[in-house]
Amino acid sequence: MTPWMIDGDQFGSCNCAYSCPCQFGWPEPTTGDCQAIVTGHIDQGYYGDTRLDGLNWALLLKWPGPIPEGNGTQQAIVDERADDAQFDALNRILHGEDTDPGTTHFFVYNSTMSRVLDPVRAPIDFACDIEARTGRAASPGLFEVRGEPIVDEASGNEHRVRIDLPDGFEYRIAEIGRGYGKTSGELDIRTHNTYAQFNRLHLNQHGVVA
């Protein structure tokens, strides 16, 4: 197993209600199926001797029912600035390879897939402010997604919610907001005023780095 590590911001949106049942160990998605756009930026990272600093990435994910039932389809998008070694390395990480079984969300996602589309190298515009609960990411012709704070319908004020998972395989604490996203490629994904998540992503081949 090649040692690796990534440390940076992650932002994504799925089509479930703001609370996202997955975060609470409940397998049934809000609308029956599951669609998600997950994106990130690596401040510092490596795969063996290959540095991954400064690269952006995205995963397009879709399941016809609950994630544990499988039959999903996914596609990885890697920053066009990645050289061949970085492209191969980041693809292995995003597909859960060189990872202890079940210890990262990348591994779990990949284990439920029936179809894994060819990865794409493309420009990815990414910005995320975890504390402010705002984010945006886009890759021309492939996807766009944005996130913003939840707004209390009664007062009109921003409503702050955090999820704390001491034993989580993706993060320890995530800020929750609302997201809007769509894809333009082979996978048709739509989110609209649904769950959005903003978190620090610090992982290695053994799982979350405490």
Share of the chain above pLDDT 90, in %: 95
**Residue 42 maps to a domain:** yes
Q: Alpha carbon of 26 to those of 20, 22, 119, 193: distances in Å?
A: 9, 5, 30, 21
> Please, which pLDDT band fits residue 26 given cuts at 50, 70 and 90?
confident
**Residue 206 maps to a domain:** no
Instruction: Check residue 47 and give its pLDDT.
Output: 98
Q: What is the mean pLDDT of residues 171-196?
A: 96
Pairwise CA distance, residues 8 & 15, whole Å:
24
Q: What is the mean pLDDT of residues 55-79?
A: 97
The answer to whether residue 105 scores a pLDDT higher than 90 is: yes
Q: What is the mean pLDDT of residues 115-126?
A: 97
**Residue 207 maps to a domain:** no
The parent domain of residue 89 ranges over 4-201
Pairwise CA distance, residues 79 & 177, whole Å:
25
The answer to whether residue 27 scores a pLDDT higher than 90 is: no
**Residue 210 maps to a domain:** no
> Please, which pLDDT band fits residue 122 given cuts at 50, 70 and 90?
very high
**Residue 209 maps to a domain:** no
Helix, coil or strand: residue 93: helix
The total number of structural domains in the chain stands at: 1
**Residue 54 maps to a domain:** yes
**Residue 196 maps to a domain:** yes
Q: What is the mean pLDDT of residues 158-170?
A: 96
Q: What integer best gives the mean pLDDT of the chain?
A: 96
Q: Alpha carbon of 175 to those of 58, 93, 186: distances in Å?
A: 19, 24, 30
β-strand pairing of 113-116 with 72-79: parallel
The answer to whether residue 210 scores a pLDDT higher than 90 is: no
**Residue 87 maps to a domain:** yes
